[in-house]
Structure 1
């Protein structure tokens, strides 16, 4: 078994030898990036210069860890590395490219270390111990530094998005308020064509996201959703605040995204993300109307809190959104219509769900059973129990009952009665 002191001494020697070649190693990594991440190298001269400075300082810092026996978990990311991360954020470079650059660099430097080590020692046990120590140390260093540079990237991205969008946000608010503006000038300022079909969306974090990259993640959700739509250009995204954005998609035709596409996007997004959609509209008035509709549904979702579905559309819940502007009054009305059936427990929830599907399928026990994947007799039993709880047949006041059931489904405990 190799002695740990011998391993540390040998590793320090290897790192010391490589420390004399930091300039050459930096050049090698730039050439590696030119092959693997060419857009990082074929960029503005000042940015590429900053990349080289970041590489030089990171390599130098990593080697000093092994030369001097420094704890890698206590090392701070070099200044050039932090600034390079911020510059990439400003230029819209995906953060995954920054992370990949670090792991490509780690692999390349470890290969140099192994080549150097095999020239200086032929003891496989010593070589194995050295590489194990080197792998553990470099991983700890890369993990520590990437956490810091990604955090700097995310903070800069949010700040930059807010600053860049300040003028656009002011123009959009004026446009929504109906102030007279010259159309061509507004389109130029927004980099968005107002002549056409628009679909408005409001996307936000219900609570502060764990990753701290609020606007950046909302931008990613917007881009992902836009990929499934027949758009004529890039969406217009305007931050409403640090956790919420207003979005418009320019469409070739008036369509909404498929429900499965929306759910797929949300599954990949942070769990705090919520979104609502208006109906598509034509021209400037359609731009405004679609946003007003999304705003009403946003108010509905906010009132419902955590019980609400993560994605809602005005087409599905427009009437509910108008009713739910006063939640206290809505809760009282739901109680008047449904009575005990509005109780917030599992038993009454099952009855409400069955009754709502029964009404939505035209009062057909067979169709409701198929949709609920239940036996027809079970549907009949639940509908009968629901009517007993209501104290009357659902046909007596069908429209109000169906609306009240939908409010319970969408708003949950916000309008339900305590058991």
Structure 2
């Protein structure tokens, strides 16, 4: 900013500059990065990140519009309440919500003190501006925290009273890796957990009218279940505009679905079996959603390599991919291990048996024989799905 002579002048300029979209985005990103760094379990949750972004943006936009006014008053945007209610529906404890605001408060303090140090040379004027700015920011945050606690508490009480509470608890227990009784959990969910599952996440665009959101979520979920060919659908709310879903089938289903609802998007995992499959397919769906880049439909099978490169499904995701791609070739016995090593060296030698033979100090014909054996275990030629097979071989070699 150019030199200023009064606190009010600085506040007016701050408010004007904050109206700039690029500047607002920088402020929001700065605060959110600090918040996310303290919540590592949520940093790959696309729904949470979207609602955090909307909440922080609403706070900044609302505060900037009021900060320079003589009749300053706190008016909170609906997006801030959406985040509090989502945390309540997810079963997050109140300290998580309070931590978000505490970290955000510290981030704003660091940012503003840095800006004032650069903008205002006069120490007395800088102190006066900071006191006025921070007094209003503190009023804003105090009001926000008080109202967010009320919104969170009301949502949590309603959630706990409702029939969906037990369902959500069971789902969270399964996703959290807790040991559950399959029969009892299936009864609580009215959903067959011992079958195959395709998990998918549904999101509704921000520009969809609020009154249409639930209808869009429900109709999209039913449409996807119909596409899979099953009426065994389980759906739980995961945010104000998002839903986690599973479809159960008696046999493996195609993990590639369709999404025809306007203003809605879908990301799906692969078909997996049992309790572990219920959880694994869901993690894949979340990973696919996080790299969907606004596409109406994203299948994990189509973006698996990207998700693995980003580490979105962790070590277990990499191991699942390796077991699926290699099949019998993933067996732990010495003979199969030798076939894997031979195939890995052969592929890294551009499919040249002579080069692979030199590297392994065996005859090229031995290499060719082992490759044929490996293909029998794979069930297809080594050039089919070559990138996936080679990556799977490296994963098995590493573990």
Q: Normalised by the size of structure 1, how large is the TM-score?
A: 0.37
| The structure with more radius of gyration | 1
TM-score (norm 2): 0.39
